[in-house]
């Protein structure tokens, strides 16, 4: 049961992707399969989360080969939160895609690739094996690259090239680092590494390997100064693809940093000092780009960079607090809970903003601010949803962004990290500025040109309104989620706090994977498989 539940968020999208490939000539049916699979993945993730909240972290051994010899799938609360993010964003994108993905794109494999992307992300969140994580990284990378370049316009290919090149460097570094790690310890099971590396007592050596692996993750996470691929590619691809990628892809990097460095790579506190410094740089450089960008999707792309900084800041503050002063455990928990909540918040909000940019693009044929205007008259509902979502991104109260920001600020002040708190608040102001800029230029100002130029698309013009309505459904739901977290933050905060507590006590994770915990399923004997995957 547990094994099945653990594997579902991975297997559902993978199987559905295969189904899509089998229905290659029927894009409409693929869209349906994609949406169905997305909702099923969401349901499976919710069920898994409920299970983990009830039993604590759970693990299953693929093929019933015992850890650390086989590959372990493991879900603690952090993994569950990330899976919820992934499946939620997937569902939103699939819903939006019903209206926004046209036939040429769909027949190019958009839906199948969306599903393999989701499967890769799920795999990365579920695996307890660092080499297996690399495999899922490759699944993600290739899926997203094809998604980005599908359509092959010049800008897409340029963006795709930057994306692919820089991410391949990350892959290469990741793989090299894992190879070295395996050479050193003879294992790639993360729980096993968490036991063996500290026992070897060679922190400087671990940091050297860690530098390579964490740099790879930092490229994936789009942390400064390694984020170039993100602004280069997010504004060239269709908004629904950008929404998928902004919602989950860079968070995989953050998740990996959290997972690997809390378990085994972060033996020296200096690692987190560096991470903290880079988080500040990430926030500032990202928001600078957003403040001067003149195109909605570029603004959003740069913000994705900036917001990654907040997540890394929370994690670094937490680890520094936990490592330097044992009594500051509550501070560390709050900081990490804030970082995790920030990921949830950002996934909902940034996905939504990209989806809204899709509606704007559909309506006006451009997302350049200079050519937009008057949308709050012509599209009042979209305008309202944009305003709520944009204000949430800027951290305005009653919305999710404020709760996440408040947790980080409080924890930062408690931990005595005043400098990073000051940076984060300055960045918050520029975030507010760039969101108000978009609101001002796209929605408030009088239209630059009469809004008669409706973008053509391959669908029947008669279905245009229906398509737009379909696109607005997930947008409304995600805006509602931002409001819900803002108004009633306790459940989300409790969930994130629990995730943070587990991350800060790696023994629980290690015990779950290696079977030293009574809550683990007894399916680990090297006897014939009981619960084959």
Q: Which of residues 322-341 bind other proteins (CB under 8 A)?
A: 334, 337
Q: Tell me which stretch binds other proteins (CB under 8 A): 84-92, 208-216, 317-325, 505-513.
A: 208-216
User: x/- binding map, residues 476-505, to other proteins, per CB under 8 A?
Assistant: -------------xx--xx--x--------
Q: Which of residues 232-251 bind other proteins (CB under 8 A)?
A: 232, 235-236, 238-240
Stretch that binds other proteins, among 47-55, 291-299, 476-484, 513-521 (CB under 8 A): 291-299
Among 28, 47, 55, 186, binds other proteins (CB under 8 A): 186
Smallest distance, other proteins to C-beta of residue 509, A: 18
Is 126 within 8 Å of 74 (Cβ atoms)? Answer: yes
- Report the residue from 36, 228, 329, 483 that binds other proteins according to the rule CB under 8 A: 228
Site for other proteins in 370-429 (CB under 8 A): 376, 391, 396-398, 402-403, 406-407, 409-410, 413-414, 418, 421-422, 425-426, 428-429
As measured in angstroms, the least distance from the Cβ of 514 to other proteins is 12
Residues 110-169 that bind other proteins (CB under 8 A): 112-113, 116, 119-120, 123, 127, 131-132, 135-136, 138-139, 142-143, 145-146, 149-158, 160-162, 164-166, 169
Q: Which is nearer to other proteins, 32 or 447 (CB)?
A: 447
Residue 77 or 518 with smaller CB distance to other proteins: 77
Q: Which of residues 250-289 bind other proteins (CB under 8 A)?
A: 285, 287-289
Instruction: Tell me what percent of the chain is helix, strand and coil, each rounded to the nearest 5.
Output: 80, 0, 20
Cα–Cα distance between 343 and 251 in angstroms, integer?
7
Q: Which is nearer to other proteins, 201 or 518 (CB)?
A: 201
CB of residue 507 vs other proteins: minimum separation in angstroms?
A: 18
Beta pairing, strands 72-75 & 58-61:
antiparallel
Q: Give the shortest CB-75-to-other proteins separation in angstroms.
A: 15
Q: Which of residues 75-104 bind other proteins (CB under 8 A)?
A: 100-104
Residues near 40 by beta carbon (within 8 Å), at least 6 away in sequence = 8, 12, 16
Residue 432 or 470 having the CB closest to other proteins = 432
Q: Among residue numbers 339 through 368, which ones bind other proteins (CB under 8 A)?
A: 361-362, 365-367
Binding footprint of other proteins, residue count (CB under 8 A): 149
Residue 224 CB, shortest distance to other proteins, in Å, is 8
Close Cβ partners of 518 (under 8 Å, ≥ 6 residues apart)? none
- Phi-psi sector, 457: left (phi>0), alpha (psi -120 to 50), beta: beta
Least Cβ distance, residue 485 to other proteins (angstroms): 10
173 binds other proteins (CB under 8 A): yes
Residue 11: strand, helix, or coil: helix
| Tokens found for residue 327 | 């009594």
The first and second tokens of residue 6, run together, are: 């653990």
CA 510/CA 517 separation, integer angstroms: 9
Least distance (Å) from other proteins to the CB of residue 91?
A: 19
Q: How far apart are CA 183 and CA 458, in angstroms?
A: 54
Structure tokens at 427: 């960045």
In the complex, minimum distance from the CB of residue 478 to other proteins, in angstroms, rounded to a whole number: 20
Q: Look up residue 419 and give its DSSP letter.
A: H
Give least dist CB 113 to other proteins, A: 7
Minimum CB separation of residue 264 from other proteins in Å reads 11
Nearer to other proteins, 214 or 254 (CB): 214
* Separation between Cα atoms, residue 411 and residue 316, nearest integer Å: 11
Q: Judged by CB under 8 A, does residue 210 bind other proteins? A: yes
28 vs 102: CA distance, rounded Å: 9
Produce one character per residue of 426-456: b if its CB has 16 or more CB atoms within 10 Å, e if not.
ebbebbbebbebbbebbbebebbeebeeeee
Give Cα 227 to chain centroid, integer Å.
15
Tell me which of 27, 57, 88, 109 binds other proteins, using CB under 8 A. 109
Span near other proteins by CB under 8 A; candidates 290-298, 306-314, 316-324, 516-524: 290-298
3-class secondary-structure state, position 127:
strand
Interface of this chain with other proteins, residues 430 to 459, rule: CB under 8 A: 430, 432-433, 436-437, 440, 444-446, 455-458
- What is the secondary structure of 442-478 as a DSSP string? IIISPPSS-TT-PPP-SS-GGGHHHHHHHHHHHHHHH
CB of 521 to other proteins, least distance (A): 17
Nearer to other proteins, 119 or 503 (CB): 119
> Which of residues 51 and 366 has its CB atom nearest to other proteins in the complex?
366
CA atoms within 13 A on the CB side of 331: 22
Q: Which residues contact 435 (CB under 8 A, 6 or more apart)?
A: 390, 391, 393, 394
Closer of 255 and 387 to other proteins (Cβ): 387
Q: Which residues, in sequence order, are CB contacts of 136 under 8 Å at separation 6+? A: 120, 121, 122, 123, 124, 127
Output the smallest distance, CB 151 to other proteins, in A: 3
Phi, psi dihedral angles at 60 (to 5 degrees): -140, 145
Site for other proteins contains 296 (CB under 8 A): no
CA atoms within 13 A on the CB side of 361: 21
Q: State which of residues 31, 52, 71, 222 lies at the interface with other proteins (CB under 8 A).
A: 71
Query: 129: which DSSP letter?
Result: B
């Amino acid at each position: 049961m547990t094994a099945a539940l653990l594997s579902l968020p991975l297997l559902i999208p993978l199987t559905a992707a295969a189904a899509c490939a089998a229905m290659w000539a029927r894009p409409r049916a693929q869209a349906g399969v994609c949406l169905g699979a997305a909702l099923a993945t969401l349901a499976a993730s919710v069920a898994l989360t409920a299970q983990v909240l009830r039993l604590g972290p759970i693990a299953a051994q693929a093929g019933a080969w015992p850890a650390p010899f086989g590959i372990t799938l493991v879900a603690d609360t952090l993994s569950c939160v990330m899976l919820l993010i992934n499946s939620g964003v997937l569902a939103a994108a699939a819903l939006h895609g019903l209206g926004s993905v046209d036939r040429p794109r769909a027949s190019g494999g958009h839906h199948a690739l969306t599903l393999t992307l989701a499967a890769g992300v799920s795999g990365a969140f579920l695996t307890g094996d660092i080499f297996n994580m690399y495999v899922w990284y490759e699944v993600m990378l290739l899926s997203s690259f094809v998604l980005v370049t599908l359509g092959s316009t010049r800008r897409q290919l340029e963006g795709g090239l930057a994306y692919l090149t820089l991410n391949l460097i990350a892959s290469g570094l990741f793989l090299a680092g894992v190879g070295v790690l395996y050479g050193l310890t003879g294992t790639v099971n993360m729980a096993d590494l968490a036991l063996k590396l500290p026992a070897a007592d060679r922190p400087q050596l671990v940091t050297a390997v860690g530098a390579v692996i964490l740099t790879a993750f930092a490229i994936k996470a789009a942390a400064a100064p390694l984020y170039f691929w993100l602004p280069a590619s997010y504004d060239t691809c269709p908004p629904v693809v950008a929404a998928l990628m902004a919602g989950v892809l860079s968070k995989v990097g953050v998740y990996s940093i959290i997972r690997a460095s809390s378990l085994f790579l972060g033996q020296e506190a200096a690692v987190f000092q560096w991470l903290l410094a880079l988080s500040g740089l990430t926030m500032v450089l990202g928001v600078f780009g957003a403040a001067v960008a003149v195109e909605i999707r570029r603004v959003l792309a740069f913000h994705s960079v900036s917001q990654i900084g907040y997540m890394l800041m929370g994690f670094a503050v937490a680890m520094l607090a936990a490592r330097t002063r044992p009594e500051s455990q509550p501070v560390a928990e709050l900081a990490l809970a804030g970082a995790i909540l920030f990921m949830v918040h950002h996934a909902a909000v940034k996905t939504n903003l990209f989806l809204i940019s899709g509606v704007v693009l559909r309506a006006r044929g451009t997302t350049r601010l200079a050519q937009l205007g008057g949308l709050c008259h012509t599209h009042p509902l979209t305008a309202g949803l944009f305003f709520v979502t944009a204000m949430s991104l800027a951290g305005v109260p009653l919305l999710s962004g404020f709760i996440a920001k408040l947790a980080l600020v409080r924890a930062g002040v408690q931990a005595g990290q005043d400098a990073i708190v000051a940076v984060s608040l300055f960045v918050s102001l520029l975030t507010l500025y760039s969101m108000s800029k978009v609101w001002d230029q796209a929605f408030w100002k009088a239209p630059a040109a009469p809004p008669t130029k409706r973008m053509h698309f391959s669908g029947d013009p008669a279905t245009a309104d229906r398509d737009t309505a379909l696109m607005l459904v997930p947008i409304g739901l995600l805006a509602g989620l931002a409001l819900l977290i803002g108004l009633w933050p306790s459940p989300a905060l409790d969930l994130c706090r629990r995730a943070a507590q587990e991350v800060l006590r790696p023994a629980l994770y290690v015990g779950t994977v290696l079977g030293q915990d009574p809550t683990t399923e007894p399916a680990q004997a090297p006897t014939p498989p009981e619960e084959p995957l």
